[in-house]
Amino acid sequence: MSDVLIYTVQEVAKILHSSPNYIYSLIDKGYLPAIKLGSIKILKSTLEKFLLENEGKDLSNINDIKKIPTNISNEEDT
């Protein structure tokens, strides 16, 4: 990761070798905190914390994981 402080959903998906839809699911389920600044963004520090806290866990089937309350809706990035 570089000196960037904030990422788009698409950038996080690329970093994690995942799909944007999966990242939206992580956000929607409350596992990956995000903010909405026109479109949904993830802070670099939040992504790093998410990775450390979830190391060793299997989050591959996110739809079976219980939702954690969040205020961010699953809207398309523009």
pTM of the model: 0.77
Rounded to whole angstroms, the Cα distance separating 49 from 15 reads 14
Q: Which two tokens stand for residue 75?
A: 């809207």
pLDDT tens figures, 8-48: 999 999 999 999 999 999 999 999 999 999 999 999 999 99
Residue range 38-72, pLDDT digits in tens:
999 999 999 999 999 999 989 888 777 666 555 55
Cα–Cα distance, 41 to 8 (Å, whole number): 5
- Closest among 6, 37, 42 to 24, alpha carbons compared: 42
